[in-house]
């Protein structure tokens, strides 16, 4: 990977996490070889992969900084480990299961350079399996009943209707660029999430500090989606269910929290319970209720 250094442009630190997916990570790194942006570094954090050695990444790309964590720190913790060694003015957090075009960095950097009130920016995200379909073109606000938001443009054709840049309610963790000065001011991602909802929580932290969250469709990436955790696994069920409530506990005011918890008790928890029972998905049922009980035990969720 011919990483060039041109100090006329700000340094971008590209941070990605590897977990038992060296071949997938190598595909992403191969796509970075075509980057036209002249000043960047690449940091790969291996999250204590139990079934393979990540050394092939360093062997194939010796210029990459490979950090080997001794424990699995999750999405937030792994990225935070990368932040601690990053030297860039701008930090790009990108999933290892992505492929990027050569010119995708320039619009993101330009967006942050031209407006210092923007604290985070994501590109348009399209599906790797069908690049004509959009996965992310911004987010709707978090619903205070369901504690869910929706990806704008999801599974819709990339036909030009989602090509307007602008402020959006939240960021997408598969690819997000943040100025280092914002991280220094606001803090890094909350590691208690481990997986899922941490980028939405971070976006709320950054918005409370007075910054905007931005969508920039002049840049795009292709996302293979959920290779590390599985598209539908008990692990995913557990962390989404647990962290949805954690997000509300950390970010909703008292009235909003009461409303959302009433909805969970009356609608969401019974609905999910009966759904897993009807489908005989008992591992998912156990994971779901483990998530509920985690929150009922009163674990501290605020710093």
C-alpha to C-alpha distance for 264 and 147, rounded to whole angstroms: 9
pLDDT tens-place string over residues 108-141? 999 999 999 999 999 999 999 999 999 999 999 9
Residue 211 token pair: 């910054």
Locate the domains of the chain by residue range: 12-223, 234-296
For Cα atoms 126, 164, 152, give the angle at the middle one, nearest 5 degrees.
Answer: 50
Looking at residue 271, its pLDDT comes to 96
- Return the H-helix or E-strand segment holding 219: strand 212-223
Buried b (16+ CB within 10 A) or exposed e, 18-34: bbbbbebbbbbbebbee
Mean pLDDT of 276-291: 95
Q: Looking at domain 12-223, which of 3.30.420.40, 3.30.413.10, 1.10.3720.10, 3.90.550.10 is its CATH number?
A: 3.90.550.10
Q: How confident is the model at residue 25 (pLDDT cuts 50, 70, 90)?
A: very high
* Mean pLDDT, rounded, of the chain: 94
Percentage of residues of the chain with pLDDT beyond 90: 91
The gap between the terminal CA atoms of the chain, to the nearest Å, is: 40
Burial class (CB in 10 A: 0-12, 13-18, 19+), 101: middle
Residue 267 token pair: 């609608």
C-alpha to C-alpha distance for 91 and 89, rounded to whole angstroms: 7
The C-alpha R_g of the chain, in whole angstroms, comes to: 19
pLDDT tens-place string over residues 148-158? 999 999 999 99
C-alpha to C-alpha distance for 271 and 259, rounded to whole angstroms: 17
Helix pair 234-251, 282-296: axis angle to 10 deg:
20
pLDDT tens-place string over residues 202-235? 999 999 999 999 999 999 999 997 544 446 789 9
Cβ contact 186:205 at 8 Å: yes
Q: How confident is the model at residue 1 (pLDDT cuts 50, 70, 90)?
A: low
Residue 281 token pair: 């998905």
30 φ/ψ sector (left φ>0, alpha ψ -120 to 50, else beta): alpha
State yes or no: pLDDT of 29 exceeds 50.
yes
Cβ contact 97:77 at 8 Å: no
Mean pLDDT of 32-42: 96
Mean pLDDT of 180-201: 96
């Amino acid at each position: 990977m011919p990483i060039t250094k041109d100090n006329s442009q700000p340094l971008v630190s590209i941070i990605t996490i590897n977990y038992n997916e060296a071949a997938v990570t190598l595909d992403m790194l191969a796509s970075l070889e075509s980057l036209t942006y002249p000043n960047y570094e690449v940091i790969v954090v291996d999250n204590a992969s139990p079934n393979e050695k990540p050394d092939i990444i360093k062997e194939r790309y010796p210029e990459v900084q490979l950090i080997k964590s001794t424990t699995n720190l999750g999405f937030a913790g792994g990225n935070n480990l990368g932040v601690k060694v990053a030297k860039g003015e701008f930090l790009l957090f990108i999933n290892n299961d992505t492929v990027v075009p050569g010119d995708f960095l320039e619009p993101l950097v330009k967006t942050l350079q031209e407006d210092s009130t923007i604290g985070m920016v994501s590109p348009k995200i399209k599906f790797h399996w069908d690049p004509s379909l959009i996965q992310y073109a911004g987010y709707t606000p978090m619903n205070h009943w369901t504690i869910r938001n929706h990806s704008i443009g999801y599974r819709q054709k990339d036909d030009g209707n989602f090509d307007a840049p602008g402020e959006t309610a939240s960021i997408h963790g598969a690819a997000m660029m943040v100025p280092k000065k914002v991280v220094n001011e606001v803090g890094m991602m909350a590691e208690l999430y481990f997986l899922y909802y941490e980028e939405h929580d971070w976006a709320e932290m950054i918005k409370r500090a007075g910054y905007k969250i931005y969508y920039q469709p002049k840049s795009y990436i292709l996302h293979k989606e959920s290779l590390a955790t599985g598209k539908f696994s008990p692990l995913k069920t557990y962390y989404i269910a647990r962290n949805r409530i954690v997000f509300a506990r950390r970010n909703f005011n008292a009235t909003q929290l009461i409303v959302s918890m009433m909805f969970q008790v009356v609608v969401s928890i019974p609905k999910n319970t009966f759904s897993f029972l009807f489908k005989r998905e008992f591992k998912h049922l156990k994971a779901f209720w483990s998530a509920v009980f985690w929150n009922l035990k009163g674990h501290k969720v605020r710093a």
